Amino acid sequence: QEGQPIYLAVKGVVFDVTSGKEFYGKGAPYNALVGKDSTRGVAKMSLDPADLTHDTTGLTEEELKSLEDIFNNVYKAKYPIVGYTSRRILNEDGSPNLDFKPEDQPHFNIKDEF
Predicted structure pTM score: 0.79
Contacts of residue 29, defined as CB under 8 A and 6 or more positions apart, other chains included, come to: 23
Higher pLDDT, 102 or 39: 39
Q: At 50, which CATH number?
A: 3.10.120.10
Contacts of residue 94, defined as CB under 8 A and 6 or more positions apart, other chains included, come to: none
Residue 93 domain flag: no
Residue 102 domain flag: no
Residue 40 domain flag: yes
Residue 105 domain flag: no
Task: Report how many domains make up the chain.
Answer: 1
pLDDT (mean) for 15-20: 96
Residue 108 domain flag: no
- Tally: H helices and E strands in the chain: 6, 3
pLDDT of res. 111? 47
Residue 27 domain flag: yes
- For residue range 30-75, what is the model confidence (pLDDT) as tens digits? 999 999 999 999 999 999 999 999 999 999 999 999 999 999 999 9
- Residues of the domain holding 39: 7-88
- Give 2's pLDDT tier (boundaries 50, 70, 90): confident
> Following DSSP, what letter does each residue of 44-64 receive, concatenated?
HT---GGG-SS--TT--HHHH
Residue 22 domain flag: yes
Residue 98 domain flag: no
Query: What is the share, in percent, of the chain residues with pLDDT greater than 90?
Result: 67
pLDDT of res. 108? 52
> Residue 54 phi/psi, 5° resolution?
-75, -20
